[in-house]
Amino acid sequence: MILPAIDVLNGRCVRLAGGDPERVTIEGGDPGEAAARFAADGAAFLHLVDLDGAFSGSSTPGLVEAVLAAAGGTPVQVGGGYRTIEAIERALAAGASRVMVGTAAISPGFLAKAARRLGERLVVAVDARDGLVVAEGWARSSSLAATDLARACSAAGVARLLVTSATHDGSLAGPDLELLGDVIEASGLPVLAAGGIASLGDLRRLKALGCEGAVLGSALWSGRVALADALLSTA
């Protein structure tokens, strides 16, 4: 599955280098327009990240609703600032198909409760730098290994992981195949890959590795990869 990325900062689509809000590499305009365009181009799922929410810990009012309205029925997974069950359920009530959580997933007791209540609608974001989990919009490093979080997710009954290399994200340097392979092996769960994907060859390598899908960001926004070609290459 190919999921076009819609990362939103201050109401506009952006691509960031390494998740740093001071390093905007691409400015892409209105998120609703992007959602409508990707849906029209055949995306089966959209990937919306509220960067303001990720940095502040509180999701941006109205963003999910605006993108869903523009997407015209194409399902959307959303993330950025969802750190309580109640916040997740509000996004689902607004129409999101899945909600991604990162920072909350490293809190004791959260995983099992969330997995039990949300099932397939929950995606745990395993965001890592040098093999260790990062949180709070990637501003805070932890001592928790990505593989240990992956195992905890599997034990808790989490349905799906989104694995992003913070050092590769926005770099167009290729995905972190070692990180992805380690997480797949540790968890046994379906994995969506993100970070560094730059070519159709990268997408094929991710499929061969066993990834369920890939989030296509900078390569798509910069014009290096067309969504139609990405969909065909992984069909």
Catalytic annotation, pick one of 50, 52, 127, 169 = 127
Amino acid (one-letter) located at 40? A
Catalytic annotation, pick one of 7, 50, 169, 182 = 7
Q: Which residues of 84-108 are buried (b: 16+ CB within 10 A; e: fewer)?
A: bbebbeebbebbbbbbbbbbbbbee
Q: Which residue has the tokens 């076009």?
A: 4
According to the 3-state scheme, what is the secondary structure of 82-137? CCCHHHHHHHHHCCCCEEEECHHHHCCCHHHHHHHHHHHHEEEEEEEECCEEEECC
Active site residue 30: no
Active site residue 7: yes
Phi, psi of 38 (to 5 degrees): -65, -40
State the Rg of the chain over Cα: 16
Torsion-angle region of residue 103: left (phi > 0), alpha (psi -120 to 50) or beta?
alpha
- CA 136, CA 85: separation in Å to the nearest integer? 17
Query: Exposed, middle or buried by CB within 10 Å (0-12, 13-18, 19+), for 227?
Result: middle
Active site residues: 7, 127
